[in-house]
Amino acid sequence: MTQATKARKEAVQKDAPHPVADDVAVSSAARQALQALLRTALPDISVSNLSAEQLSVALTQAHESWGYGLRHVRHEVRMEDGGELGLYADRARLGSATDTPETLAAAYASMQAADEQGRSAWAVLPEGYRVTLEPSNRQLKVLVEDARDFETHWAAAANGSAQRTGRQGDDLWVEVFRAAPGRDLVQDAAWEVVERIKDRALRRELQRRAEEKGILGALLGARGEGIEAAMKRSPSLHFTVNSAVVRTQERSFEVWKVVQKEAAASLEAAQQAQVERLVSLLGSPGRGR
């Protein structure tokens, strides 16, 4: 477990109270739906004993991983009459936990301001110095070790990713972003499923069909009715991990380099894990896998 993952889990689950009602009874369906949504970013989370405040913390952390660029927004989960869990952004209700993932994803996407690379154009800090980095690390070293509140614009990083750095008070953070659209991940997962099939005749047949229908069309056809509908209902298709944010309170450029590497490694691992979840969702089209 990385430092970032451990910190996220502890922040959500420490001091968890006894099962709460927060003045209203929450339906099991609402909790299960919210848990499925949050697990796209926080795979180990259990929401059964969390208060509204703790659920709001978890939703905020999930947004850091989803990468919608809404880190400047206050995210809340509110327990509502009727047993529902309402999802709020800056006090405006965007939907409920039991809305379809497609509906919720569209609601959050409507708040985005993305550049041509899909990176958020919104600032994280409500105010503060924003700077475009020079090619050398000298400028960044000065910012990390001496600056007050600041935020850098996106800069290209390894493996097609981008990163930005900022400080708010004592909290120094690094965010690494690489777009991972759900449709692309499903295509990757579909190829992975086919490659793992041990029945060579079946594998060759699916590869042949892929030339006509695409790999996803070939696999969905082989799996039978219902699998495509099941995928559309899955949060994993609509809420994907695009970012990783790691924090430190150290004012050291050497520590910043460690944090930056941890953020990049965390994003890589999380994106591979979501492909594996989609592989499990797609399942095998036949025996002998």
Q: Is 7 exposed, middle or buried (0-12, 13-18, 19+ CB in 10 A)?
A: middle
Q: In the prediction, which pLDDT does 179 show?
A: 93
User: What are 17-31's pLDDT values in tens digits?
Assistant: 333 445 568 899 999
Q: In the prediction, which pLDDT does 24 show?
A: 63
Tell me the two tokens of residue 122.
Answer: 């919104």
Low-confidence residues of the chain, pLDDT below 50? 1-9, 11-21, 287-289
Residues 6+ apart with CB under 8 A from 135: none
Q: In the prediction, which pLDDT does 282 show?
A: 78
Phi and psi torsions of 40, nearest 5°: -65, -25
Report helix angle 52-66 to 28-38, nearest 10. 30
Counting every residue written for the chain, the total comes to 289
Which ranges of 14-135 does DSSP label H, i.e. alpha helix? 28-38, 52-66, 101-109
- What predicted TM-score, i.e. pTM, was given to this entire model? 0.83
Q: In the prediction, which pLDDT does 32 show?
A: 96
> What SS3 state is found at 132?
coil
Tell me the two tokens of residue 138.
Answer: 């000298």
Give me the residue spans of the domains in the chain. 3-109, 115-289
